[in-house]
Amino acid sequence: MVYLDILMFIISMLFLIKGSDIFVENSARLARHFRVSEFVIGLTLVSIGTSLPELASSIAASFSKESGFIMGNIIGSNIANMGLILAIGTLLFTIETKEKIFKRDSLFLLLITILFILLSLDKIISFADSALLLLIFFFYVLHLFRSKEEEKEIHYEKFARIKLKKDFFKHIILIIFGLAGLYVGSKFLIPSTINLANLIKIPTELIAVSLVAVGTSLPELFVTISAAKKGLEKILIGNIIGSNISNILLIIGISGIISPIKISNIDLYYIMPFMVIMTFLFFKYIRNYWVYRILQGISLLFIYMVFILGIIFFKLY
């Protein structure tokens, strides 16, 4: 039974990751078919698209009323994005953050992170809290549509290299397959995660904040590696910012609308403080133009390792 849960966990993660990859790639091509702005594709389809595993699994967890899974998955994903994926990207190549949009959006990420924690102080994300987060997300995306043309250039380079295909229906079918993969992956990920947590006798959010969060953050890692190979370092920062914003505003918002999200002491007093620390450092490094990239990458990775060691400590004690 244990081996079956482990096998289902791995298969579910693969379905989530591959399903999101198929969905994002073909949605981008379809959007370009209709002449949608490449900037809009970049900041919406890339950042939201790489968050699809978190979205799919969190929605499934909401219907199962598994608040611990949702919080661990989302907060853990944000921490992994900055402490693991961004750190790897920083160590791979030089990052330039002189564009005004990076300072603006990283500050926005820091502010909504603080807002998220303030809303969590009563240990529940209510329907009203979730509606507020979704409303902020709506105005944020609306603002992106109105951004200046020179800012758009930061985000569309990745998609400029996509060769358009004329087979319209092929993209539609592949998008459906991608969504099906997301559905199957999220459906079986929740029970296998809960069973594993019960087996080793630790809270569900600790499994979600480590194994699930890293697994669902793999699309961001793949984008990072792809950007490194192509010399598109700006994609990395834009993707991390957009993905973390989507995680808090969109995914927590939708999940809380479906069912109120309960906040545990582990969430409030251990996991969330690490997310704030990571986000603040991320903001500071961008303001300083990411000058000491090796030192900054190592510092983010070190904090992430401390975070993971803390989870092991919780497991042991």
Res 310: pLDDT: 85
In CATH, the architecture of 2-316 is: Up-down Bundle (1.20)
Res 8: pLDDT: 76
Res 206: pLDDT: 72
Res 256: pLDDT: 94
Check if the beta carbon of residue 78 is closer than 8 Å to that of residue 278: yes
Render each residue's pLDDT in the chain as its tens digit; 317 residues: 667 767 777 787 677 667 766 766 666 666 666 565 444 555 566 666 666 667 777 888 888 888 888 888 889 889 988 888 888 877 776 666 666 767 888 899 999 999 999 999 999 999 999 999 999 999 988 887 676 544 444 444 444 444 444 566 777 787 777 767 766 766 666 677 667 666 767 666 677 677 767 666 666 666 666 655 655 556 667 778 888 998 999 999 999 999 999 998 888 998 899 999 999 998 988 887 666 678 888 899 999 999 988 877 765 45
Res 286: pLDDT: 83
Closest CA to 234 of 157, 163, 292: 157
Closest CA to 86 of 99, 95, 74, 98: 95
Length of the chain measured in residues? 317
* Residue partners of 195: CB distance under 8 A and separation at least 6: 1, 5
Closest CA to 247 of 80, 39, 90: 80
Burial tier of 317 (Cβ tally within 10 Å: 0-12, 13-18, 19+) = exposed
Res 66: pLDDT: 81
Alpha-carbon distance of 105 to 92, in angstroms, equals 23
Closest CA to 60 of 212, 187, 235: 187
Per-domain residue ranges of the chain: 2-316
